[in-house]
Structures are given as structure tokens and as C-alpha cells.
Structure 1
Amino acid sequence: MQKNYYILFHNTRVNSPLSSYDKRKSRQSFDRAAHRYDKSAALQQQVAAKLIALQSKEGVQSVLDIGCGTGQVTAAMCVDYPQANIVALDFAERMLLETEKRLSVINKSATLVCADAECLPFVDESFDLIISSLMLQWSNDLTQNLTHIHRCLMGKGQLAFSTFTEGTLKEVKASWKSVDGLVHTSDFMGVDTLKQSVEAAGFRNVQIHQETIVSLYPKVREVLMDMKRIGASNAHSDRSKGLTGKQRFAAFESAYEIFKQADMNYPCTWELAYVFGEK
């Protein structure tokens, strides 16, 4: 795999209404999960497919896929825009290796860049479409990150991304809250705040489509194991660094019982936003 840039990281705590993320911890988690990601990432695949279907397909000559993961969106961009210059960026090198494998199966190629999405290593006005599925929620400063994305877009360029919003993991959060006051899950913006961030970064004609997806599990521990298998572990900078004790985890499972459905499954709620804007 030919890398075009060195790995760049931005791991500074910021003045944000949400807690900041430990980028190195997150990168390690996604690197470890890369080889098994597609087997467990049904939700991510569903959301990416909808984002691909919703975004515009006219006049695209250059595309940047931010947080490409195993390359589902990148592969779709290669198919939809066969004459375009496609760039796939991820901060986990093993994810890029999986993207390369996916593209080789369909006899397509893209420029692979290993870098932090908050340090985009591109000159101004490099792309006329920037797309990202379920990655930008990990930004330590979303407005600043979107401002850099705006800079990289050509005049009248398009932004399309999906992200989690407030209400995501509400069952997990409520259950842990009844056990202790520690940070166990990520925080996500409300839709109004999200729109304000996109507009503050300079985007016009911002449109947001909302969706709620409820995943069902036969056991409570499967909820957390599914998150771990795709690398989406808790990477808050202020997370507890110790192991979750058996007693506390048992208390968490007990608290989760109030969400148990009539079919004996346990729900996990994901609130989604599909965001589109113009430069």
C-alpha cells in the first residue's frame, strides 16, 4: 500500500461542550478491530449505504472519503464516479489495508492517506465532494474540523456525512448512570447544535435527515461486545483507566433489565443524522 502522507494526530483537549477523545487510544482500537470489522458492523454498513444513496451524483471529479474504515463508501465512490480522483483517508493503517483489499476485489483503486481527520493534509480547494460516514462524531472540535473540510472543498463543493446524535446509546447511558458517575460512553450533539456547527463552519443550504435505528440483542453483554468488536470502545480522555469490576458490571446488567422487551431482547438505540451542505 502506498501512503501519501505521514500519520498526523491532533490530540489536544479543547473547550467543547462534549468531552474530548484520546485519539491514540481510539486509533489502537480501530486498528485491532480492522480484520473483523465488517462481520460486526451491520449498523455502520446500513448507515453508509443510506448516505451513499442520498448524496448527489452529478458532476463529481474529485472525492475525499474521511474515516474510510474498510472502504465501503470509497468503493461506492469508485463505482459511481469512475473518472474521478478518489482519496480515502483513515488514521488506522490497518483499516486502509482493508480498504485496499476491498478495492482490489472490484478492480478499483484510490489514493490511500493515513492521517488524522482533524489535520487534513490537503491544499485548499482539493475536492468537489467530501463524504464521511459515522466518523465526524469523534472530532474533538467539530466546528473546527468542518472548517478545515470547508477549506478543502472547491467552490460550490458538496459535503455529505452521517453522524450519531443525542439519544444514541440512551439505554447504555441510563444503566451506567444508575451504577456510578464515571464516563462509559461517548456524548453526541443534539440536531440543532449539529446544524449550528455545520453552518458556523461556512456551509450553506444545510439539510439534515434524521433516523432512529434500534438494534436488538439476546444478552446485555452482547451490546457492549458488539461495540468492542468494531473498535468503538470508550476513548474519552477522562474515561476511567481501570477495568470495570464484576460487581459493577453485574449492577449494569441488572439496571439494563428495565429495557428488556416482550420478545426477551435488549434494545440499543442509535440516533442518526445525514447531513448535507454546500460551500
Structure 2
Amino acid sequence: MDLLEWDARSYDALPLPHRHWGTDLLARLPLAGTETVLDLGCGTGRDTERLLAALPAGRVLALDGSRRMLAALGERLSGAGDRLTVLHADLREPLRLPERVDAAFSVATLHWLPDHDLVFHGVGAALRPGGRFVAEAGGRGNVAGVLRALAEVSGGTDEARFWNFSGVDDTVARLRGAGFTDIDVQLVPDPARLEPGEPLEAFLGTVVLGAHLRELPAERRRPFVRAVARRLPEPVVDYVRLRIDAVRR
């Protein structure tokens, strides 16, 4: 599948119910304030901004595959100066950074990437020994209700074409194989309740179903999203989060 190019302005304008993911993840990353940190899949920079605030004498390497997302990040963080390095890269390919980093941070990105072995080896190679990797993403069982609604609307859906929802044991094994230790991986249910109607449909169309919609003609996208929304038993996106905390040997 081609790299997904996000509608960054629509994404950033939404009152996202999962904004706490980045805040919670940052609270699990102990920082002295002088480190260089990789923000893997930085999006529009909401969490990058928090990272920079936690690094008054440090730096952030913000990396994403979407040029629109990076453009929005550039507008948001135009005053960051040399404390911010913005990098465009396809995260499905081997990770190559201009320098090594002290820590790596990733919010809601890993489930879009088909090869977690490749990602973890890339992050491991980018980290200095003893560097911390914290991440959260969709895990096994994520958006199961949305998948059922999708199957009713489209007659079946190939989850693996769009998402990679990994479990605890396979993630631990991949991290260990990539040179990590002190590994803690959890699956945590975190359902997001939205207002029915337009708020739910806007969220589904922008955040959840973007990869599906780009395969449809423009005139079919809104009816498709509405049909999926109407088949949900309640206006809830049943997230299950894969939370990762690991240290580079």
C-alpha cells in the first residue's frame, strides 16, 4: 500500500478524545531536560511540543512520513529554532537518522507499520546504550467493533492491509531480538466515546478510516463513513492500546 498522506488540518482541528495518550506516555519517560529525543511518527506536533517543553536544554528529532503533517508541525513549532530537527521518512523502510539519540518516543504510529521487527531494529540502532524507548499504539483487539461494522458495510475487510495490531508476547520477542532489555509491554483497553452524528463521523473518516477512504471515489466516502457509524452499537471507538517501555542494551 502507498504511504498514507493525512489530512493534517482536519486531523488537528478535531477535539481528539485520545489526546491524553501522548501526555501519559511522556510521564513514563524520565528526562533530565538535556537529552536528544526521537519523536517517531510525530504527526502535527502536538506531542512534539510537549517534548520540547520537557527538554529546555535538549533537542527533538521529529520524524514522520506525511508531508502535510510535517507542514502543520512546522507551523505549530516555528519558534523552536535549532532545538527541533524535522525529518521526512517512510517509516516502513529502514530508519536512518543523522545522529544517535538518548531516547525514543512514539504515539499512535506503530499500528500503521507492517514490519515491527524493522522498526524496533531501527530504533535500537538509533539509541545510545541505555536509551529508553516508550511507545503506544493500537494493539491486538483494537477497534474490533469498527472492524465488525466495516465487514457489514463492505462485505469483509482485510485488517492486515491497513493495520498491524500486535500482541504482548510477539512484541516482547521482537524488542528482545532488537537488543532491548527491561521490557514492559501491556495491552490496555481505552474506549473513546464521541458525540453521535457528525462528530463521530468526522472522527472515523479522519482518524480511523483514512486508508480505506482513499481507495473510494470522493462521492462515496461520506456515505461509507456514515454507514460504518450507523452500524456501531454505540458511538464508541473501542481502542486497545499496546504500551511499550524498553531500554537499549
Structures share fold, TM-score greater than 0.5? yes
C-alpha contact (below 8 Å) 1:41/1:230 kept by paired residues: no
C-alpha contact (below 8 Å) 2:141/2:240 kept by paired residues: yes
Q: 1:190 aligns with which of 130, 151, 167?
A: 167
> Counterparts of 2:67 and 2:24 in 1: how far apart (Å)?
26
Q: Which moved more, 1:223-232 or 1:138-147?
A: 223-232
Change beyond 3 A, Cα 1:56–1:223? same
How far did residue 58 of structure 1 move? 3.6
How far did residue 231 of structure 1 move? 7.2
Change beyond 3 A, Cα 1:154–1:109? closer
> Counterparts of 1:88 and 1:173 in 2: how far apart (Å)?
31
> Counterparts of 2:205 and 2:89 in 1: how far apart (Å)?
22
Question: What are the within-5 Å matches in structure 2 for residues 83-122 of structure 1?
Answer: 83-104=57-78, 109-117=83-91, 118-122=93-97
Q: 1:205 aligns with which of 179, 182, 190?
A: 182
C-alpha contact (below 8 Å) 1:205/1:278 kept by paired residues: yes
SS of residue in 1 equivalent to 2:19: helix
Equivalent residue number for residue 17 of structure 1: none
> RMSD of the TM alignment (CA)?
3.1
Q: Which has the higher contact order (CA 8 A, sep 6+)?
A: 1
Q: Aligned partner of 1:267: which letter?
A: V
Residue 268, structure 1, aligned to residue 237, structure 2:
yes
Residue 214, structure 1, aligned to residue 191, structure 2:
yes
Change beyond 3 A, Cα 1:114–1:253? closer
Structure 1 unmatched runs, 5+: 1-21, 261-265
Q: Which moved more, 1:153-162 or 1:226-235?
A: 226-235
Equivalent residue number for residue 12 of structure 1: none
Equivalent residue number for residue 139 of structure 1: 113
C-alpha contact (below 8 Å) 1:60/1:129 kept by paired residues: no
Equivalent residue number for residue 156 of structure 2: 181
Rg (Cα) greater in structure: 1
Residue 48, structure 1, aligned to residue 25, structure 2:
no
Instruction: Give the aligned length.
Output: 242
C-alpha contact (below 8 Å) 1:183/1:240 kept by paired residues: no
Equivalent residue number for residue 159 of structure 1: 133
C-alpha contact (below 8 Å) 1:165/1:273 kept by paired residues: yes
Write the deviation string for residues 143-199 of structure 1: whole angstroms up to 9, x where unpaired: 111101101111111111111111211111122334512337634112222222222
C-alpha contact (below 8 Å) 2:94/2:118 kept by paired residues: no
> Counterparts of 2:198 and 2:165 in 1: how far apart (Å)?
22
Q: Percentage identity across aligned positions?
A: 21
Residue 81, structure 1, aligned to residue 50, structure 2:
no
How far did residue 51 of structure 1 move? 0.7
> TM-score scaled by structure 2?
0.82
Q: Aligned partner of 2:241: which letter?
A: L
Structure 2 unmatched runs, 5+: none
> Counterparts of 1:247 and 1:75 in 2: how far apart (Å)?
36
Question: What are the within-5 Å matches in structure 2 for residues 233-244 of structure 1?
Answer: 233-234=210-211, 241-242=215-216
SS of residue in 1 equivalent to 2:140: coil
How far did residue 220 of structure 1 move? 6.7
How far did residue 120 of structure 1 move? 2.1
Change beyond 3 A, Cα 1:134–1:41? farther
Write the deviation string for residues 54-108 of structure 1: whole angstroms up to 9, x where unpaired: 2122475211111111112222221111222321111112212222222236788
> Counterparts of 2:136 and 2:185 in 1: how far apart (Å)?
9
